[in-house]
Chains A and B, each alone.
Chain A
Amino acid sequence: MREKFLSLRTVGVPLDRMNVDTDAIIPARYLKTIKRTGLGDGLFFAWRYDMDGKEQPDFPMNRPEYRGGKVLVTGENFGCGSSREHAVWALMDFGFRAVIAPSFSDIFHNNCLKNGMLPVTLPAAEVRSLIDALLAAPGGKVEVDLAGQTVTGPNGDIHAFGVASFAKTCLLEGLDEIALTLTSASEIDRYERERKKATPWLFLDLAG
């Protein structure tokens, strides 16, 4: 079940890096689970902790001013690499509900929307100004209003963002997308009947 996305006003956490990949967000050894919960422990593990398991004091998530923040503000191509949805589950388990970046990888972006997490794409210069403001005055608040499609930065600066209309509805209402698609089951049936005639070799059964 997906969570509803509620508007947020929360501490913004700056992660001033580009091309943050999903192996960095959640290392592979944390993927050995059959559950969606509990992944926050492994979030950014190699950056949050040193080789002896001690917290890296300079990493934003370890700094007291940023603790409890629910909005991550970061560089371009966030979430590149592996398709692991565990990256989104880890961010959410840790407490994040939105990520603001100049660009996202396609799969990560999709995975966010499926879980009630909001990926906000803003122009690079606007993200830069948000990161700079959060670094200059740690603990600054960021407001994310999905209904109004705006982000308000710590200095009161307002940034408009786009979001696909159906994705917005799903986020606001926490809709079960599979249940919605199943209302189209008769159309899928009809498609299968027609394709079976046109390309019968695609309906050979793989089982056995």
Chain B
Amino acid sequence: MLSLFGKIWDRHVVKAREDDVLLYIDRHLVHEVTSPQAFAGLSAAGRSVRRPGAMLAVPDHNVPTTPDRSVRIEDRGSREQIQALRENALGAGIALFDIDDPRQGIVHIIGPESGLVQPGITVVCGDSHTGTLGAFGAIAFGIGTSEVEHVLATQALWQKKPLQMRVAVNGTLGSFVTPKDVILAVIAKIGAAGGTGYALEFSGETVRRMSMEGRMTVCNMTIEAGARFGLIAPDEITFAYLKGRPLAPSSSLWDAAVEYWKGLPSDLDAKWDLEVALAVDSLEPHVTWGTSPQDALPVGGAVPDPGEQADPGERARMRRALEYMALSPGTRMTDIPVDKVFIGSCTNSRIEDLRAAAAVAKGRKVAPGMTALVVPGSGLVKRQAEEEGLDQVFVEAGFQWRLPGCSMCLGMNPDKLRPGERCASTSNRNFEGRQGPGGRTHLMSPPMAAAAAIAGRIVDVREVAR
């Protein structure tokens, strides 16, 4: 009667305390923004990294996505953080995919690509989108810098077991309806804090049919519903993705690992603290109107009216969001023009995302005056996309084809919005100022963002592609 989460948890308990347990951490991913203070703290206390071979470091948040980045990074703070990561990794003997390494990319993209993220493991990173990796049937969660330091020193973390929520997704997704739309609909349904204190296991036929790329998109955004953990049971699709990857087990260890992995899915009589169901047969492409990921609605909808909201706190929040977004109640979502388009981020920069966007862009042109970026999630995604000719499709349509990094998701590198600019974005957060001070973000899927680039406004991709 154990859930997938429960099985993995139990096998990683080193010791228990009254409120929490010491949980062993199998893998630790490290990036340049949340790690320097952890390494400095370790050094100040005269401590060393306990198991450097369990860790992988990569610069991603700060890196420019233009070719001049290997010559010089203009921003001093960015340069210092990237240099600190380099020195800390080399000093501790931690593997590093540096800025000019063909494997460099967004931390949540390169972990799976390298094969180090496997079913049944515990994996952490100083980044809230670490839940992405739960798509492999792993306990994967984001931590703060103090916890990064704790893992560096001890390879373990004190954790309280979260509650268990099952999200059953059933039905067949229509054409141009994607895993991004599924997770936006889930967040809209349970709210930005609906998953706080929970681990979310996504199940159901829709999830079973999703590729690993799609499953990662779903788990990536569980944090936007407040849940640190998103999980999907491992199956043949998971095993096929992993087989032959550089850090996946090989030969006889492979068979033993698969045998172990097959025993991980939740028992049929597993106990759930909460169960949620989503039927997706008639799910429409989703977009956000406000400044919280829970503000998602079908693209055919209109900006909601705070006046119809009964709760005064939520009413005030909606009014504030509309003021920031410069939108009026009743405006049709498809009447909202956009200035920029961003296709990328740890949510939607994998090869399938780029294929889906390219299918819309092919043979079309971006709207006059539009700036549209396509930022592959890693050097390996970029190479594969180029082998498939996707870069040419994008460039011919008027998109910019960039080098891998977090790019315009978070306003820490040169790719950002200017005040008042409005962006159709495949990223994960539409918070005030997230993509740059004063910038306005509408979240959506890669085909929807590609369609917005062509139309110059939010549009139903099914009309553009028809």
Give the contacting residue for B56; candidates A27, A115, A206; CB below 8 A: A206
A207→B52 contact, CB < 8 A: yes
B154 touches A17 (CB 8 A): no
Contact A107 B81 (CB under 8 A): no
**Chain B residues positioned under 8 Å from A28 (CB to CB):** 61, 410-412, 434
Contacts of B128 in A (CB 8 A): 81-83, 107
Q: How far is the CB of B231 from chain A (nearest CB, A)?
A: 16
Is B95 among interface residues, defined by CB-CB distance under 8 A?
yes
Q: In the bound complex, what is the Cα–Cα distance between A174 and B393 (angstroms)?
A: 58
**Which bucket holds chain A's interface residue count?**
35 or more
Q: Tell me, rounded to whole Å, the shortest Cβ–Cβ distance linking B344 to chain A.
A: 16
Asked if A80 and B432 sit within 8 Å, CB to CB, the answer is no
Q: Closest approach, in angstroms, between the C-beta of A23 and any C-beta of chain B?
A: 4
In the complex, chain B residues 107-126 whose Cβ is within 8 Å of any chain A Cβ: 114, 116, 118, 120-121, 126
For B254, the chain A residues whose CB sits under 8 A away are: 201
Q: How far is the CB of B52 from chain A (nearest CB, A)?
A: 6
Taking a contact as CB atoms under 8 Å apart, the answer to whether B154 and A103 are in contact is no
Q: Is the beta-carbon distance between A206 and B116 smaller than 8 angstroms?
A: yes
Stretch from B13-21, B64-72, B444-452 contacting the other chain? B13-21
CB-based contact B145/A105 at 8 Å:
no
Q: Is the CB of A195 within 8 A of B410?
A: no
> In the complex, which residue of chain B has the Cβ closest to the Cβ of A191?
B14
B7 adjacent to chain A (CB < 8 Å): no
Which residue of A has the minimal Cβ distance to B22? A184
Q: Is A187 in contact with chain B by the CB < 8 A criterion? A: yes
* B-chain residues with CB within 8 Å of residue A104 when the two chains form the complex: 196
Chain B residues near A204 (CB-CB < 8 A)? 247, 249
- Cα A114 to Cα B144 in complex, Å, equals 9
Stretch of B30-38, B178-186, B299-307, B397-405 on the interface side:
B30-38
Separation of A165 and B14 alpha carbons in the complex (Å): 20
Task: Please give the residue numbers on chain A whose beta carbons come within 8 Å of chain B beta carbons, in ascending order.
Answer: 2, 16-19, 21, 23-24, 27-29, 31-36, 46, 51, 75-77, 80-85, 88, 103-107, 110-111, 114-115, 164-167, 176-179, 181-182, 184-185, 187-188, 191-192, 195, 199-208
For the complex of A and B, list the 3 residue pairs with the smallest distance between their C-beta atoms, beginning with the closest.
A32-B77, A205-B53, A114-B146
Given A34-B80, A201-B118, 6 other A-B contacts at CB below 8 A? A16-B316, A81-B431, A83-B34, A107-B144, A202-B118, A202-B121
What are 6 A-B pairs with beta-carbon distances under 8 A? A18-B314, A18-B317, A83-B127, A85-B34, A114-B144, A201-B256
